[in-house]
Amino acid sequence: MKAPAKLGQPTIRVDGSAKVCGTAAYPGDLLPAGTAHAVLVLSGIAHGRIDRLDTAAARAMPGVRDLLTWREVADAVRPVGHVLGEGWANSTWRPLSGPDIRYGGQIVALLVADTFEQARAAAGQVVVAYVAERPAATLGEAASTAEPASRIKPEIKDRIAGDFAAAFAAAPVRVEADFATPIQHHNPMELPTTTCLWTDDRLTVWEPTRFVTALQHGLAAQLGMDPARVRVISRYVGGHFGSKLGLSQHTALAAIAARRIGRPVRIAVSRRDQFSIANHRTDTLHRIRLGAERDGRLLALSHEAIAATSRFDDFAMEGTDVSTALYACPNVLGRERVARVDRNTPGPMRAPPEVPFLFALESALDQLAHDLAIDPVELRRRNDTAADPVTGEPFTSRPLMRCFDAGAAAFGWAARRAAPRTRREGRHWIGLGCAASARPVKIGPAIVRVSLAQGGRVLVETAQHEIGNGLQTLLAMTASERLAVPLDHVTVRLGDSALPPGGLSGGSSSTTTLVNALAEACARLAALPPGPDGGRSVEHRYLPPGADGKALAGLQQGHVTLLTPPEGKLSWAFGAHFVEVAVDAATGEVRVRRHVGAFAAGRILNPLAARNQLTGGMIWGVGSALLEQTEVDRATGTYLNADLADYLLPTAADVGALEVLMIADEDREGNAEGVKGLGELGIIGVNAAIANAVFNATGVRPTALPIRCEQLI
């Protein structure tokens, strides 16, 4: 018999060959017999109302089976709350509920036909006339109307220690800088294709989602059904990066159309549609003020930020809880505001607050290091802290400087010239930069069923998601190790609301949650006597430290129930990025030539998958720093570059030499298995490291992302 797997050993994905051979079934791969195809018509304005909707020509097109507008749907989709509140929707705007238009790309009609091509052709015949009002669809236009974030999210509180104003005024050295980050869209390869099939009064939905339980309960609530009659299947997810959480606008419409025509209906959301059907990373503005001693020790730190949200949802994500807790400082002010814009509701996108907030903080720190002529790594060492300076809560472990030191050594940081614009190679200015990554560890409750048959076959079942992160492999490894069976004796079933709820794929929490849950389940199983047929099975309800029955009840209803244990302490993952850029002296084009990332994220369970996640984040960080921005047409409030030709992402030619270091971080305080999660850790701080390298190369401080050549020449 083969040896069991061992957590910590590099292990090839158990689903690798199915994916490479094309047998892994994604939701959009399934086409039940008789499926009709639906195509969306989206609004071309962001603010106003539908004046006239002419559908006669579209209805007369070949193959058309149904056409839904607000007249047909009206109140058929019941209101449900937001998925990050007490509800399930990623935007609480009710699809086709009336003639009002509140954002660009809002659904105004749905065409159903025998084939996709017929539906698309017919959709082109729908004529919509609007009464349009001038929108304010970007933060730049709405920032002056910002209100305190606590007004829409009471848990976002000002972060105050000491007396910032007095300490800043008296500080021997001061840095004051403003930063801006743009709207960005997740563009997973897999689009949110939805197929709905009614069997009598039961509904089956195939849709890529990172939380089948939320989709099940939310859709049932929208349609006024018993959730037990809704089943959602999403066995594989082709990436989400923060999208695919909760109900999108199109899902209920597919179910309604399928019921109306008595056939399964599939909506293929196009890349362009996806920009408003899914959510996005919101645009943000930051003011950082730092006051320091001449030796670099911070005396005063303030981070004031504004983020955009929609008119109709109270979406906001706190960022100053991280940016004002990362370094020692006696006088702190963190304050966040939110401005409403005429856009669909933003949402989480990989490390939602940390990516913009640490861009601002880590850029300002680099400026302080420059002004003081102190090495940027040394500046961070002098401000290292064992506790949150605002609350006094200690970190369970604090490997930040070990990340900086290991990264600096591997990168050759000592060769950096401190003075900007002093290293030239041919037509390029060369610069080196660094920045920190940091992120609170999140964990949730989960229910995992594990069964051991006579002969040693193991089945692990939980309604969580394989999003390409290698979760299926990790769960197989865990069961293999803990039950002492070979890896290929373990089958893992995920992504089906008929399975016990496993929570959402989000907040880098999947591994942390489920490896702990499954480890406990295996321990219970191993202690059970065999049943009559020689097999045994347990359905284990895992509660992370500090969670109670309320969290479990929330999980079972598809609510987000992530926690940050242990109580009274901060358990964070850390990292440090080192980047070398070459800036073309004539054109201002920036290329990242080398990038070393050093990360400490608790126990690393599968180094292959961990490296894969971390390099993915590092590469995406190049997009965040240099390429990605969703452009808004100010006149209409719609997205101008809603396709992969004009929404720029890093491709192979944009990626230089990459090196990932994993730094030991033994920390069992947050959870028994010592797991921290690293899905989001790799991207945080990359934008700042690149911006700091650009400053070192050129002497120009980038303050707005993406960094474009026009800022540099």
Q: For 678, how many CA atoms within 13 A lie in the half-sphere containing its CB?
A: 35
Q: Decide whether 218 or 507 has the Cβ nearer to ligand MOS.
A: 507
* 680 catalytically annotated: yes
Q: Decide whether 264 or 506 has the Cβ nearer to ligand MOS.
A: 506
Distance CA 250, CA 248 (A): 6
Distance CA 596, CA 270 (A): 36
Minimum CB–partner distance for residue 675 and ligand MOS (Å): 16
Minimum CB–partner distance for residue 471 and ligand MOS (Å): 13
Minimum CB–partner distance for residue 350 and ligand MOS (Å): 5
Contacts of 659 (CB under 8 A, 6+ apart): 410, 411, 594, 595, 596, 597
Q: Decide whether 352 or 637 has the Cβ nearer to ligand MOS.
A: 352
Minimum CB–partner distance for residue 332 and ligand MOS (Å): 26
Distances 412 to 365, 481, 695 between C-alpha atoms, Å:
21, 39, 18
Closest CA to 203 of 217, 193, 189: 217
Closest CA to 494 of 97, 194, 213: 213
> Which tokens belong to 149?
């974030």
Which run of H or of E encompasses 176? strand 173-181
Contacts of 114 (CB under 8 A, 6+ apart): 36, 37, 63, 65
Cβ-closest position to ligand MOS: 242
Q: Decide whether 208 or 507 has the Cβ nearer to ligand MOS.
A: 507
Minimum CB–partner distance for residue 619 and ligand MOS (Å): 16
Enumerate the H helices of 202-241 as residue ranges.
212-223
Which run of H or of E encompasses 633? strand 632-633
Q: Decide whether 349 or 406 has the Cβ nearer to ligand MOS.
A: 349
Minimum CB–partner distance for residue 562 and ligand MOS (Å): 8
Q: Interface residues with ligand MOS (CB under 6 A)?
A: 242, 348-350, 352, 506-507
Minimum CB–partner distance for residue 56 and ligand MOS (Å): 43
Ramachandran sector of residue 664 (left: φ over 0; alpha: ψ -120 to 50; beta: rest): beta
Q: 82 in helix, strand or coil?
A: strand
Q: Decide whether 350 or 559 has the Cβ nearer to ligand MOS.
A: 350
Q: Which of 207, 628, 673, 680 is catalytic?
A: 680
For the chain, the farthest-separated pair of C-alpha atoms sits apart, in whole angstroms, at 78
Report whether 542 contacts 517 (CB < 8 A): yes
Minimum CB–partner distance for residue 494 and ligand MOS (Å): 16
The 3-class secondary structure across 445-495, one letter per residue, is CEEEEEEECCCCCEEEECECCECCCCHHHHHHHHHHHHHCCEHHHEEEECC
Q: What is the DSSP string of 324-378?
A: TTSS--SEEEEEEEEEEESS------SSTTHHHHHHHHHHHHHHHHHHHT--HHH
Number of C-beta neighbours around residue 603 at 10 A:
18
Q: Decide whether 45 or 84 has the Cβ nearer to ligand MOS.
A: 84
Q: Decide whether 208 or 348 has the Cβ nearer to ligand MOS.
A: 348
Distance CA 207, CA 357 (A): 32
**Sign of the alpha-carbon dihedral angle for 551, 555, 558, 562:** positive
Catalytic center residues: 680
